[in-house]
Amino acid sequence: MSHSEPAGDLGAYVKRFSRASVLVVGDAMLDRYVYGEVTRISPEAPVPILTVTREVAMPGGAGNVVRNLIALNASAAFVSVVGDDAAGSDLTGLIGGQERVEPWLLVQGGRTTTLKTRYIAQGQHLIRADREETVALPPRLAERLVRIALDAMAATTVTILSDYRKGVLSPEVAGQLIAGAKKLGRKVIVDPKGRDYALYAGADVITPNRRELAEATGMPVDSEAGIVAAARKLMAAHDFGAVLVTRSEDGMSLVMQGEVHHFPGEAKEVFDVSGAGDTVVAALAAALAANVPLPGAARLANIAGGIVVGKVGTAVTHPADILAAIAPATGALTKVVTAAAAAEAAERWRTRGYRVGFTNGCFDLLHPGHVHLLEQCRAMCDRLIVGINADASVKRLKGPTRPAQGEAARAAVLASLASVDLVCLFEEDTPIEVIKLIKPDLLIKGSDYTRETVVGAELVESWGGAVALAELLPGHSTTATLARLRG
């Protein structure tokens, strides 16, 4: 049986995410991405030489589940273990620096923090180097972790056990946490690993992918009927409340005690599946913690997973992304996005070798001068993102009678231009925060500016970008246009 929630209901559910509080217990990792260019082969061995241009580090594993929860506007408590090494210190700083996170990262002396380093050139993954330790926690540390987790469980609504088989969720630890959740009346979602699901016995929802389901049951899962039969076998054997099976581009299947729901694939384009399972389990937990019924929560998780595989790297999904997927904009309005979405698009374009340009302004009453400026900007780069001041910002900068047109109208008109690839609003008086997010390769302003007066010039140059000044069309300005209109 298929299932679909009315779009209006799903939109209301997404807005509840800010009320959700979720506990994540599992294996924390540090994901490091090293980007560069390859222009020659090493004379020492037949391998490419990567000239490094930038590095990015972010929480991975169970830490990526936390990232996704925060991106969805939920609150999270995070209980895990790191080593007393540089990767553990970096990971602790990254987790602690996020808003709405209560971190409990216990330090084990001598342990190696899991570190995955990916080397990428021109959008191609060259190699991944892993450093890790997978032994179970010593008994005293495991007892401390369980005690802290049970305290955090009492203060949250839903618990996620994110198992990457790196030693945090031993059978004893997982069993104690699931038993504790039952006593507290809390739901437990498990993102499993391995073939023995007995250690997750009693969980409310388990989220294997199709391959993991086949390995755990030894049953064929190449059809919906096969998936349902295998899921029911797991439920009967281990007292699971439900099984949510992710089926890659084919969507998901939710098998409950009395009903089954199959959700079609939501991805328009699969760009990178890294971390998609973390997004799914985070969206499912956020929805359940916000009192969304399980079928609706699974539908939202399916939409969130479909969005994130169209992004670059270990990405996250935001409520605005899900709302846009539920009720998509059409025509030029699809080019009006949040600053976060613009940053993700810019990253995707860069991995394909495109040069990303950025310009900004109020763009109050679009006139030939604006059109001329934007056409020049687009000619200097491969993709152009335009930041525009929101109404409150324009009023502060230009006075109480401005803007002449509201922000929605200004954004829509700009988006209709062929020279503009994306438009995003910013509330601040300057675009500096948007520039930090997007990291353009080229920052462009009109020739009435100098390099020294362009906001963000030093910042863009600090990461190897450039600043350019475009020629203005004489006699065309917003002030002159308004004066002509007012007679």
**Beta-strand runs (E) in 221-349:** 242-246, 252-256, 260-263, 336-337
Q: How many CA atoms lie within 13 A of 264 on its CB side?
A: 5
Active-site hit among 31, 85, 191, 278:
278
Burial of 482 (0-12, 13-18, 19+ CB in 10 A): middle
Neighbouring residues of 190: CB distance < 8 A, sequence distance ≥ 6: 160, 161, 163, 174, 200, 203, 205, 206, 207
Which sign does the torsion angle of CA 326, 438, 22, 277 carry? positive
Q: How many CA atoms lie within 13 A of 33 on its CB side?
A: 19
In the block, which residue shows the tokens 């190449």?
222
DSSP secondary structure string for all residues of 294-329: HHHHHHHHHHHHHHHTTSSSS----HHHHHHHHS--
Alpha carbon distance 458, 309 (integer Å): 33
Q: Which of 153, 156, 158, 137 is nearest to 80 (CA)?
A: 137
**Encoding tokens for residue 83?**
């080593």
- Say if CB 50 and CB 119 are below 8 A apart: yes
Distances 305 to 7, 124, 247, 262, 275 between C-alpha atoms, Å: 17, 22, 11, 15, 9
Q: Is 278 a catalytic residue?
A: yes
Q: Which of 174, 145, 133 is nearest to 29 (CA)?
A: 133
Q: What angle, rounded to 10 degrees, do the helices at 7-15 and 319-326 form?
A: 170
- Say if CB 81 and CB 170 are below 8 A apart: no
- Say if CB 132 and CB 115 are below 8 A apart: yes
Alpha carbon distance 285, 187 (integer Å): 9
Q: Which of 374, 352, 358 is nearest to 436 (CA)?
A: 358
Catalytic positions, written as ranges: 278
